[in-house]
Amino acid sequence: MDFTGKVAVVTGGANGIGRAVSLGFVERGAKVVIVDRDAAAGEALAAEIGKAAIFRAADVTRAADVAAYVKAAVDSFGAIDCFHNNAGIEGRVAPTAEYDEAVFDAVMGVNVKGVFLGLRHVLPVMIGQGRGAVVNTASIAGLVGTAGMPAYVASKHAVIGLTKVAAGEVGKLGIRVNAICPGPISTRMVQDIARQVSPNNPESVEETYASGIPLRRYGTAEEVANLVLFLCSDLASNITGAQYVVDGGRTAA
Ligand code: NAD
What is the distance in A from the centroid of ligand 1 to the CA of 88? 4
Give the chain's mean pLDDT: 98
What is the distance in A from the centroid of ligand 1 to the CA of 172? 31
Q: Give residue-wise pLDDT tens across range 53-68.
A: 999 999 999 999 999 9
Q: Which of 11, 35, 36 to mutate to test the pocket of ligand 1 (most atoms within 8 A of CB)?
A: 36
What is the distance in A from the centroid of ligand 1 to the CA of 211? 24
Q: What residues have CB less than 8 Å from 14, skipping those under 6 apart? A: 34, 36, 38, 41, 42, 44, 45, 55
Question: Active-site residue 218, yes or no?
Answer: no
Residue 222 phi/psi, 5° resolution? -65, -35
Read off the pTM.
0.98
Give all domains of the chain, ordered by start, each with its CATH number. Answer: 7-183+219-245 (3.40.50.720)
- Whether the Cβ atoms of residue 175 and residue 241 lie closer than 8 Å to each other: no
Task: Give the rounded distance of the alpha carbon of 216 from its chain centre.
Answer: 24
Q: Which of 152, 209, 218, 244 is catalytic?
A: 152
- Position in ligand 1 atom list of the atom nearest CA 12: 7
- Position in ligand 1 atom list of the atom nearest CA 90: 34
Q: What is the C-alpha R_g of the chain?
A: 17
Is the interface score ipTM higher than 0.90?
yes
pLDDT of residue 110: 99
- Each of the 253 residues of the chain gets a pLDDT tens digit; together they read 999 999 999 999 999 999 999 999 999 999 999 999 999 999 999 999 999 999 999 999 999 999 999 999 999 999 999 999 999 999 999 999 999 999 999 999 999 999 999 999 999 999 999 999 999 999 999 999 999 999 999 999 999 999 999 999 999 999 999 999 999 999 999 999 999 999 999 999 999 999 999 999 999 999 999 999 999 999 999 999 999 999 999 999 9
- Other beta carbons within 10 angstroms of residue 59's beta carbon come to 15
Q: Can you tell me the distance from the alpha carbon of 115 to that of 179, in angstroms, rounded to the nearest whole number?
A: 11
Q: Can you tell me the distance from the alpha carbon of 90 to that of 69, in angstroms, rounded to the nearest whole number?
A: 23
pLDDT of residue 80: 98
Closest residue by Cα to residue 167 from 121, 130, 127, 134: 134
- Position in ligand 1 atom list of the atom nearest CA 152: 34
Q: What residues have CB less than 8 Å from 173, skipping those under 6 apart? A: 126, 127, 130
- Whether the Cβ atoms of residue 187 and residue 17 lie closer than 8 Å to each other: yes
- Position in ligand 1 atom list of the atom nearest CA 141: 43
What is the distance in A from the centroid of ligand 1 to the CA of 182? 12
Nearest Cα residue to atom 10 of ligand 1: 12
Q: Which residues line ligand 1 (CB under 6 A)?
A: 12, 14-18, 36-38, 58-61, 86-89, 110, 114, 137, 139, 182, 184-185, 187-190
Q: Give residue-wise pLDDT tens across range 175-200.
A: 999 999 999 999 999 999 999 999 99
pLDDT of residue 49: 98
